[in-house]
Chains A and B, each alone.
Chain A
Amino acid sequence: MSSGFLATNNSGQVLISSDTRNLHLIEKINSPTYYDYYTANYGGINIVRYRTNCAVTPVPFFTMPSTSSWYGVTRITNVSTNVWDIELIKSSVNNSFPEMYVFADPRASTATEAYGLKVFRNDGTASFDSRLRPLAVSGGLSVVHPNNPIGSLPYGLDPRYCGSSEATSGGAFAPDQYNQYNTYNVSLPVKPMFYFPSLAQAQRESFYSVAENECDGGTYKGNCIGAERDYFWSSTYWAFYRGAIKKGTNQVFAGWTAVDFGCNWVYTRDSALLGIGNGSSGSTGGTWPYSNETLNLSAATVIIGDAARYD
């Protein structure tokens, strides 16, 4: 940089540069604007959205009000001019939701205070404005989610017509696997806020089947003499998960939160007379899982800040 402004800290890291843009607080949103989905099953699924007005792409940080819940920002969508929806997922059944701190570069906000320091880029737009509460971070880390959201596949679900209740299948598919990251070198502030875009996805399915035979006559050497019918039922239960994080005292955990679930069933009936097939019928229903796999497991970025600084 031959001209302009540059401030660095003792570590030589850039704090303010007229070549870049600092992030500044645009808005603090105390609770979700929309509650899109909730169930107490599958570990608890909460899908909510926070709506914000921002002239540029927002960078959302969220608090974690509970150490027993998992959280993640799953998408940012520009719904209309300068209007953005920030979608957040949360596990568990408690109804305490994160506060959302929306940051963006200084073009997205206008200061009203007269005092402060403002740095401009060479195009005349703001790079830094102390009046707009610039972002300072406490630390950051890179996390990887475990390959499998659940330690063992569920058993004992009803193979007939997806007959197990949502509570039963949800209990069997509740995610329980995570990786732990100690933050001894990334001290968590009293009220930490996290930037964590969720990319990891996983789907797990479990197949159950049962067969029955009806014989109207007697049997000879195990074979039906007369009319018989073979029945077959199967059900494939599945759950879809997204990567999430949870905070501890001095840890950050990378785990999973269920976001969708379903079940597909198949029924067939084959008829025979004296061992000769004379007809079959069947039906199917429910929703079919796409793929029993885990995607996007590369290291995910977590940036930590002190939310109390922006209250």
Chain B
Amino acid sequence: MYGMNVFNSAGALTYSTSDVTWNQVDFFFVSGGGSASNSYPVLSGKEVLTAQMFINSPPSDRRALAHTITVSGTTVSVSGGSEAVYVLVLMR
């Protein structure tokens, strides 16, 4: 009963508080062999989702390890991979 609807000029509903989404907190680069540890206070008490995407195609002539991503409290840590990746941090 309560909530908010947002319409466009044609009267079509574009967004509503009955929707569900994931909001982007950060999208950052981690090099192959590199690491990162970032703190996001906004993650406190929220549901967190992370994902990583390779930047280059893994070669078939050597091991191509993805990074390990851990979320501890409001800190997102990335390490252990041999490949460059983009890390996406989402919350809701």
User: Do A59 and B23 touch across chains, with their CB atoms under 8 A apart?
Assistant: no
Q: Which residues from B are CB-within-8-Å of A136?
A: 15, 19-21
Closest to A60 in B: B53
- The reply on A190 being an interface residue by CB < 8 A is no
User: Do B60 and A260 touch across chains, with their CB atoms under 8 A apart?
Assistant: yes
**Residue total for B at the interface (Cβ-Cβ under 8 A):** 43
- The reply on A21 being an interface residue by CB < 8 A is yes
Q: A139–B22 Cα gap in the complex (Å)? A: 10
Q: Which of B4, B23, B57 interacts with A20 by CB under 8 Å? A: B23
User: Do B88 and A130 touch across chains, with their CB atoms under 8 A apart?
Assistant: no
Closest to B19 in A: A136
Q: Which residues from B are CB-within-8-Å of A130?
A: 6, 8, 14-15
Give chain B nearest CB distance to A6 CB in angstroms.
Answer: 10
Q: A73–B47 Cα gap in the complex (Å)? A: 24
Q: Which of B3, B6, B18, B27 interacts with A57 by CB under 8 Å? A: B27
Q: Is the interface of B mostly helix, strand, loop or mixed?
A: loop
Q: A207–B41 Cα gap in the complex (Å)? A: 54
**Residue total for A at the interface (Cβ-Cβ under 8 A):** 62
Contact pattern, B 70-92, Cβ under 8 Å of A = 1, otherwise 0: 00000000000000001010011
Give chain B nearest CB distance to A175 CB in angstroms.
Answer: 15
User: Do A117 and B6 touch across chains, with their CB atoms under 8 A apart?
Assistant: yes
In the complex with contacts A291-B63, A295-B65, A301-B51, A75-B23 CB distance below 8 A: no
Give chain B nearest CB distance to A304 CB in angstroms.
Answer: 11
In the complex with contacts A201-B64, A290-B63, A295-B63, A116-B22 CB distance below 8 A: no
Q: Which residues from B are CB-within-8-Å of A19?
A: 42
- The reply on B24 being an interface residue by CB < 8 A is yes
User: Do A201 and B58 touch across chains, with their CB atoms under 8 A apart?
Assistant: yes
- The reply on A115 being an interface residue by CB < 8 A is yes
Q: Which residues from A are CB-within-8-Å of B64?
A: 201, 295-296
Q: Which of B19, B54, B56, B62 interacts with A199 by CB under 8 Å? A: B54
Contact pattern, A 1-41, Cβ under 8 Å of B = 1, otherwise 0: 00000011111011111011111000000000000000000
Q: Which of B3, B4, B8, B68 interacts with A113 by CB under 8 Å? A: B8
Q: Which residues from A are CB-within-8-Å of B88?
A: 57, 59
Q: A140–B49 Cα gap in the complex (Å)? A: 10
User: Do A301 and B49 touch across chains, with their CB atoms under 8 A apart?
Assistant: yes
User: Do B23 and A17 touch across chains, with their CB atoms under 8 A apart?
Assistant: yes
Closest to A59 in B: B88
User: Do B54 and A197 touch across chains, with their CB atoms under 8 A apart?
Assistant: yes
Q: Which residues from B are CB-within-8-Å of A59?
A: 24, 27, 88
User: Do B55 and A15 touch across chains, with their CB atoms under 8 A apart?
Assistant: no
User: Do A15 and B27 touch across chains, with their CB atoms under 8 A apart?
Assistant: no
In the complex with contacts A8-B17, A20-B42, A131-B8 CB distance below 8 A: yes
Q: Which of B7, B14, B56, B91 interacts with A14 by CB under 8 Å? A: B91
Q: A51–B74 Cα gap in the complex (Å)? A: 34
Q: A288–B65 Cα gap in the complex (Å)? A: 20
In the complex with contacts A14-B91, A116-B14, A75-B62 CB distance below 8 A: no
Q: Which of B54, B61, B66 interacts with A290 by CB under 8 Å? A: B61
Q: Which residues from A are CB-within-8-Å of B61?
A: 288, 290
A-B contacts, 19 listed (Cβ < 8 Å): A9-B3, A9-B19, A15-B15, A17-B23, A17-B42, A20-B23, A20-B25, A21-B24, A57-B86, A57-B88, A75-B53, A75-B56, A105-B24, A113-B9, A114-B9, A115-B7, A136-B20, A140-B49, A301-B50
Binding site for A on B (CB under 8 A): 3-4, 6-9, 14-15, 17-25, 27, 42, 46-47, 49-58, 60-66, 68, 86, 88, 91-92
Going nearest first, the 6 A-B pairs with the smallest beta carbon separation are A20-B23, A136-B19, A197-B53, A13-B92, A130-B6, A115-B9
